[in-house]
Amino acid sequence: MLFYIILFTAVAILISVLYLRSMRPVDVVYYVMNFMSRSGLMTFLVKTGLNKKMRPKSTELVAPNGVRFMAPSAMYGIILEPALKLKVRKDDVFIATYPKAGTTWVQEITWLICNNADTETAKTSPLTARSPFIETIDIGTENKGLQSIESWPINSRRIIKTHLPYELLPQEIFSESGQECKIIYVARNPKDLCVSFYFFHQMNLGMEDPGSWSEFVTNFCTGNVGWGSCFTHALTYWEKAKEDKRIYFTTYENLQKDLKQEVISIAEFLGKDLTQDQVDSITAHCSFSSMSKNKTVNYSHAKKYGWDFQKSKFMRKGQVGDWKNHFTLNQNEAFDKLYEDKMENADLDFIFELE
Ligand code: PPS
């Protein structure tokens, strides 16, 4: 009997190993994470606080195309490889940003523009299911990532979220077959980015522990955080947007100054005709007061993956100039010097406060 049990176990292990070896690492992670989620193991880790001990570290990786990249975790290579190889469709829209620059805001605007301002669906279906994030894997039904993007229905437009720097976008974008897709880049003034990113690190236990505010400012300034230097990130897209008409470059501050005009401009860029009513309805739906109350855009489902909303809400303040409540005089002076240095040769000006 014992012999048969051992034999059965050995065969089962052998089959599993052979099966796993034929799979891409990103799909193995997908199965493991979904098993953890369904079996309750993830909830156990969150409830016992063990997930706090498993926080990743930002790590410099060399992507398969040779580009050096400050990744938010050492495991990121697993997702980078298939992301670089993604088959790009003619009608794809990439929402590219440095984290915390207004990604969710523009994802929601773009989804509504592409879906006849259907605010009813937008209020009931999570944005993470409607607009997938290429740098993650699918978990459950609401968290759509790479696997969903690859198998997205052909008759439905993909609005793909990414924080990847320009050089690490799916490489087909730069080839003949990828010429018709669109990229919307959103930048934000680096001081507010730093504050928002700090609170996000505190709240999202899947990110590196940010340490103290002053430690985080130092790491942010040196690009020693996930996705690296926000200056390089934004300036590369800015320069590319000058010659590449597929890129629409805007800023968080533009959205704050005139949301309605941004809705109109993004619709024009995407070749979508909106009625005045549709523009008004998208603008009202995407105001901070409306979005901060809307569960479908504020990541409330992520609590079960260990996001700690006691530390910070996802829709935190939604303001230009909150940095003034956090930077000390010394930090501000040092930041201004860094800004001058990084932006010396750039014809891009960020707005740090609104009149
Ligand atoms: S992420 O995690 O990178 O996808 O985050 P991201 O969506 O880029 O940025 C989150 C910040 O954007 C603010 N936000 C808004 N501000 C004004 N109006 C609207 N509608 C809006 N939607 C999102 C959100 O509050 C985060 O900024 P902070 O400064 O932390 O409040």
Is the distance from CB of 114 to CB of 157 less than 8 angstroms?
Answer: yes
Residues 277-330 pLDDT 10s: 999 999 999 999 999 999 999 998 898 888 999 999 999 999 999 999 999 999
DSSP string covering 178-237: GTT-EEEEEE--HHHHHHHHHHHHHHBTTS----SHHHHHHHHHTT-STT--HHHHHHHH
How much distance in Å is there from the Cα of 106 to the middle of ligand 1?
A: 10
- Calpha distance 143→145 (Å, rounded): 7
Name the amino acid, one letter, at 61. Answer: L
CA–CA gap between residue 140 and residue 151 (Å, rounded):
15
Residue 183 contacts by C-beta under 8 Å, 6 or more apart in sequence?
Answer: 93, 94, 96, 169, 173, 237, 244, 246, 247, 248
Q: How far is the CA of 103 from the centre of ligand 1 (A)?
A: 7
Q: What is the predicted pLDDT for the residue at 230?
A: 98
Classify residue 5 by burial, with Cβ atoms within 10 Å: 0-12, 13-18, 19+.
exposed
**CATH number for the domain running over 59-342:** 3.40.50.300
Look at residue 336 and tell me whether its pLDDT is greater than 90. Answer: yes
Helices (H), the chain: 2-21, 25-39, 41-48, 77-84, 103-114, 119-124, 127-130, 146-150, 190-203, 213-221, 230-243, 252-257, 259-269, 276-285, 288-291, 329-342
The percent of residues in the chain predicted with pLDDT above 70, rounded, is: 97
pTM summary value: 0.94
For residue 59, give the H/E element and its range.
strand 59-62
- Nearest protein Cα to ligand 1, atom 17: 318
* Atom of ligand 1 minimally distant from the CA of 161: 4
Please, which pLDDT band fits residue 18 given cuts at 50, 70 and 90?
Answer: low
Q: Rounded to whole angstroms, how far apart are CA atoms 340 and 133? A: 33
Q: How far apart are CA 233 and CA 163, in angstroms?
A: 9
- Contact yes or no for 116/205 (Cβ under 8 A): no
Pocket test for ligand 1, best of 108, 203, 315 (most atoms within 8 A of CB): 315
Name the pLDDT band for 15 (thresholds 50, 70, 90). low
More confident position, 16 or 115: 115
For the CA of 186, the closest atom of ligand 1 is: 8
Give per-residue pLDDT as tens, 261-276: 999 999 999 999 999 9
**For residue 215, is pLDDT > 90?**
yes
Q: Is the pLDDT of residue 239 over 80?
A: yes
Pocket probe for ligand 1: among 95, 97, 100, the residue whose CB has the most ligand atoms within 8 Å is 100
What was the pLDDT predicted at 111?
98
Q: State residue 158's pLDDT score.
A: 98
N-term to C-term CA, the chain:
81
Active site residues: 163
**What's the CA-to-centroid distance between 102 and ligand 1, angstroms?**
5
> 68-108 pLDDT, tens per residue?
999 999 999 999 999 999 999 999 999 999 999 999 999 99
Angle at 153 between CA 149 and CA 156, to 5 degrees: 95
Distance CA 231, CA 190 (A): 8
pLDDT one-digit tens code per residue, 120-164: 999 999 999 999 999 999 998 889 999 999 999 999 999 999 999
Beta strands 247-251 and 182-187 are: parallel
Pairwise pLDDT comparison (245 vs 141), residue with the higher score: 245
Q: Tell me if 88 sits within 8 A of 170, measured CB to CB.
A: yes
Average pLDDT value over all residues in the chain:
94
pLDDT at 9: 79
